[in-house]
Amino acid sequence: MLIQQTLSQLRALRLNAMADAVEHQRDRPALQELPFEDRLAMLVEIESQARETRRINRLLKTARLKVNG
């Protein structure tokens, strides 16, 4: 049950990509063999990439670029 509380807290903190990655890691035995620091670094990187992607998409939408074609 602790994992469900952790996932709920991650989502409440709007760390949805990290929560999804935790669930993904739980389903992959090979990832569970990695050291804690490596797994944590992977989670942080995934969240960072997701935020950057959302930021870029938001900026592109706001820019209202016209497509010539």
> What are the sequence ranges of the domains in the chain?
8-52
Residue 30 has pLDDT above 90, yes or no: yes
Amino acid at 38: D
The pLDDT of residue 68: 77
List Cα–Cα distances, 42 to 46, 58, 63, in angstroms: 6, 24, 31
The pLDDT confidence band at residue 67, using thresholds 50, 70 and 90, is confident
Q: Give the pLDDT band (50/70/90) at residue 69.
A: low
Q: What string of DSSP letters covers the chain?
A: -HHHHHHHHHHHTT-HHHHHHHHHHHT-HHHHTS-HHHHHHHHHHHHHHHHHHHHHHHHHHHHTPPPP-
Task: State the pLDDT confidence band at 1, using cuts at 50, 70 and 90.
Answer: confident
Is residue 44 over pLDDT 90? yes
